[in-house]
Structure 1
Amino acid sequence: MSTRRIAVGISGASGFAYGVRLLQLLRELDIETHLTVSRSALLTMTHETDYKLADVTALACVTYRCDDMAAAISSGSFRTLGMIVAPCSMKTLAEIASGLSSSLISRAADVTLKERRPLVLLARETPYTLAHLRNMVAVTEMGGIVAPPVPAFYARPASLDAMIDHTLGRVLDLFGLDCGAVRRWKETQA
């Protein structure tokens, strides 16, 4: 594929900053991003950040409405490197785990799985219920990767931004992309 592109979903869980920073990092890596933001994520955005939707969509190469089921990322013939949902709400996780495509995020995730492309979900909730855990197992059995944004304290993050960058750097590692944000265990920094 000549164009390196990743589908990005931002759902309504706490952690809107993960989605924004992910878009920034992918832009720095010259990755074409195809973004969809859920309605619940818009509510979370207003509670957690000072961003406006226009600020966020300006970071993406292409943006789709959450109900646009005819979007390019809803088809397996539209080639991507995969998809990241950051953050991933338990509702979105449940839709993906059960194969329900009631939003563009869950449809694009379903397509990503059926095409055997990497799907990474930054599942944001704690503590987990048995339903949450079963949905995580189901997604994992289908080939997805559940990567809750848990800080790595061995990296000795000096700020919240450093913790976010480390987490997203590890997520991008799963796509073979190095954004330079990961302090790697037992490796010296360049």
Structure 2
Amino acid sequence: MRKSITLAITGASGAPYALKLLSMLIKADYHVFLLMSSAAKVVFATEENMQIPGQSEQMAKFFAEYAGGSEEQITVCSKQEWFSPVASGSAAPKQMIICPCSTGTLSSLAVGACDNLIERAADVVIKEKGQLILVPREMPLSSLHLQNMLTLSNLGVTIMPAAPGFYHNPKTIDDLVDFVVARILDHIGLEQGLVARWGYDQNRGAKNK
């Protein structure tokens, strides 16, 4: 039986992170509940020159083809699809990643707002004591941003800013993207070969891309 996970993509910069993460989840044979905000679609058009289909079925097919998986591996839920599994504690996956996570989404989660399905899905994971990972991409961070992060961290949410390291001697933008995605995969317990681990064969470099 496939593991299930929720992946939400919001309107912060960082489309390459989301695409690589989705591809790795599909490659690992996960079933992905995919949620994408309207602002995220604008970011994808800007950063990746991707025009994301509007209909859920078409979007699932689009991303399945991109990630090299099957349409059955991706369930796209629209922002007002309140009867989707991710909206209920009795059915939602226990793991959810918001990558990238906008500061607006961060703020909504910190105060428990549930104005759209992304916010509700995250709220469900928090209340059910599941694993929620947020990947904010913003700089500089205001005191309000930091306070919201602390509030969520105190609730057990993992805050993983999109801040790639350089000790693996990156040569390309893809190498930087891989670093962040590798750390996310580590935290959900998915074995990855994108970046060599510190102290273990760092000279061999990345593999299994």
Common fold by TM > 0.5? yes
Matches of 1:3 and 1:113, distance apart in 2: 22
Residue type matched to 1:82 in 2?
Q
Contact 1:35–1:57 (CA under 8 A) maintained in structure 2: no
**1:91 equivalenced with 2:104 (yes/no):** yes
Partner of 1:161: 174
Identify if the C-alpha distance between structure 1 residues 57 and 36 changes in structure 2 by more than 3 Å, giving closer, same or farther.
Answer: farther
**1:176 equivalenced with 2:189 (yes/no):** yes
For structure 2, which runs of at least 5 residues remain unmatched after alignment?
Answer: 53-58, 68-72
Matches of 2:7 and 2:115, distance apart in 1: 17
**1:9 equivalenced with 2:12 (yes/no):** no
Deviations 1:58-82 (A, max 9, x none): 5561101122222111111114240
Identify if the C-alpha distance between structure 1 residues 9 and 35 changes in structure 2 by more than 3 Å, giving closer, same or farther.
Answer: same
Contact 1:57–1:63 (CA under 8 A) maintained in structure 2: no
How many residues align? The count is 189
**1:146 equivalenced with 2:145 (yes/no):** no
Matches of 2:124 and 2:167, distance apart in 1: 36
Task: Report the 3-state secondary structure (helix = DSSP H, G, I; strand = E; otherwise coil) of the residue aligned with 1:154.
Answer: coil
Contact 1:166–1:183 (CA under 8 A) maintained in structure 2: no
Matches of 2:84 and 2:18, distance apart in 1: 20
Partner of 2:200: 187
After superposition, the CA RMSD in angstroms is 1.5
Residue type matched to 1:163 in 2?
L
Q: What is the identity percentage for the equivalent residue pairs of Structure 1 and Structure 2?
A: 33
**1:112 equivalenced with 2:128 (yes/no):** no
Deviations 1:17-43 (A, max 9, x none): 211111100011111100010011111
**TM-score of the superposed pair, with normalisation by structure 1:** 0.94
Deviations 1:125-183 (A, max 9, x none): 10001110000001101110010010110011121111111211111111111121122
Residue type matched to 1:80 in 2?
P
Partner of 2:70: none
Deviations 1:88-127 (A, max 9, x none): 0000011111110111111111111111111000011100
1:133 corresponds, among 137, 140, 146, to 146
